[in-house]
Amino acid sequence: MDHLEAFLNFAEQSPTAFHAIANLKEALREAGFQELKERDPWIVDEGGRYYVVRNDSALIAFAVPRGGFAPFRIAAAHSDSPTFKLKPHFEDTVEGAYLRLNVEKYGGMIMSTWLDRPLSVAGRLVIREGEKAVSRLVNLDRDAVLIPNMPIHFNRQVNDGYSWNPQVDLLPLYGEGDAAGKLMKELAEAAGADPEAVLAHDLFLYSRQPGSIWGAEDAFFSCGRIDDLECAWGCMKAFLGSEARDAIAVCAVFDNEEVGSLSKQGADSTFLYDTLTRAGFALGASDGEIRAAMADGFMVSADNAHAVHPNHPEKYDRQNRVYMNKGVVIKHNANQKYTTDAISDAAFTLICEKAGVPVQHFANRSDTPGGSTLGNLSNAHVSLNTVDIGLAQLAMHSACETAGTRDLDYLIRAMEAFWG
């Protein structure tokens, strides 16, 4: 549990992908990493340590060994989580008595977990500053809205499985009939800007409920966005604690995994390919040498896994099932939703063995499609041996998820061994 308090603090300070990336950037800067801008020429030195940010919501950090150009050893996780996004015009007055917000779903959340829970608003505002438009992080950081349930008297079937309509059932209440303009005023103030100067926004709902450690022997913890901030933070922690020796160490955190990764800042973009090739050329490597370094490289795609649910153990494969606090999970899927094959499984198992970290294997029941992640999409752009891993958790995509308190340390130890 050494690192859990620090992780819970990070998760609380990272209500959106923008905040997660800003916080990881800060940690990299403090550790002496230097920012490279995609629009500028790059100077990359042997022994140098750098990071590149795209869209303020995705980041790739890399460390070059003293010996210079070398094969790539990559970890990848994601910064985003399912939530609700405010539409461009988000104010909707109801009968002159209420002001509710017009939002749309981002990703596949468990909708019922978002109801009757005070929520806040965070994201980024783009603000007019003279002739320029500048982006500012914003976090209201107060309970400001709530999506109320219907009373059971008007919805008798609510406990028999209810189909939530996001345009009808899931619009949050913000104020009374005279509250028009007040939310943007609050947000602009929180960002230190004039509300009139706000040109555009990317704003999301989030729960301010703090993380909690609970259960016998403090076995479990709960908070929002464990998927995938736990792997993003754990990989970065190990990356910052490692020294690049015989490989270029790369730690990537992509956005938009929850909506299919197909964006300029997602895993299904050129971001990783662009970064690796530009780093290689800046180090004097040829095109052929860069391709060889990819072929000789290895990637760990880290995204959380499903622990057996205590009330539904029948939903999980009988032989390939995983539990919280029982170690890092290697994920398998014959249809390549997960990239793991015998070669990458064996390689990662040996790394965990060296680190003294227990390993578990996950596969879905053959009659259950299961989820997907970013490894196979990233592989279509940068093709190299890859293993899909994660930590076992419950209630994935709930507004409040649950995981095991001992697993984060296992991930960090395994990833330190990977880069060490």
Candidates 19-27, 85-93, 221-229, 308-316 — which segment interacts with Co ion by CB under 5 A?
Answer: 221-229
User: Whole-angstrom Cα distance, residue 155 to residue 391?
Assistant: 37
Nearest approach, Cβ of residue 376 and Co ion (Å): 14
Positions in 295-354 near Co ion (CB under 5 A): 303
Taking the alpha carbons at both ends of the chain, their separation in whole angstroms is 22
> What is the x/- site pattern for Co ion, positions 245-284, by CB under 5 A?
----------------------------------------
What torsion do the CA atoms of 259, 262, 264, 268 make, to the nearest 10 degrees?
Answer: 120
Cis peptide before 228, with omega less than 30 degrees from 0? yes
Tokens 């053959």: give the residue.
Answer: 366
Residue type for position 306: H
Chosen residue from 91, 228, 345, 388 binding Co ion by CB under 5 A: 228
Which of these, 404, 211, 412, 409, lies nearest to 308 by C-alpha position? 404
State the angle between helix axes of 17-30 and 226-240 in degrees (0 to 180), rounded to the nearest 10.
Answer: 10
Nearest approach, Cβ of residue 338 and Co ion (Å): 12
Nearest approach, Cβ of residue 82 and Co ion (Å): 9
> Between residues 327 and 371, which has the closer beta carbon with respect to Co ion?
371
> Between residues 202 and 303, which has the closer beta carbon with respect to Co ion?
303
Candidates 202-210, 219-227, 267-275, 377-385 — which segment interacts with Co ion by CB under 5 A?
Answer: 219-227
Nearest approach, Cβ of residue 369 and Co ion (Å): 16
> Between residues 127 and 363, which has the closer beta carbon with respect to Co ion?
363
User: Whole-angstrom Cα distance, residue 71 to residue 242?
Assistant: 16
Chosen residue from 80, 91, 202, 227 binding Co ion by CB under 5 A: 227
Nearest approach, Cβ of residue 202 and Co ion (Å): 20
User: Whole-angstrom Cα distance, residue 254 to residue 412?
Assistant: 19
> Between residues 293 and 415, which has the closer beta carbon with respect to Co ion?
415
**Cβ contacts of residue 370 below 8 Å, gap of 6+?**
306, 333, 337, 364
> Between residues 277 and 301, which has the closer beta carbon with respect to Co ion?
301
Strand 72-78 and strand 119-129: the pairing is unpaired
> Between residues 78 and 413, which has the closer beta carbon with respect to Co ion?
78
Nearest approach, Cβ of residue 228 and Co ion (Å): 4
How remote is the C-alpha of 313 from its chain's centroid? Answer: 27
> Between residues 242 and 263, which has the closer beta carbon with respect to Co ion?
263
Which of these, 238, 249, 231, 239, lies nearest to 299 by C-alpha position? 249
Regarding 230 and contact with Co ion (CB under 5 A), the answer is: no
User: Whole-angstrom Cα distance, residue 378 to residue 169?
Assistant: 36
Residues that bind Co ion (CB under 5 A): 227-228, 303
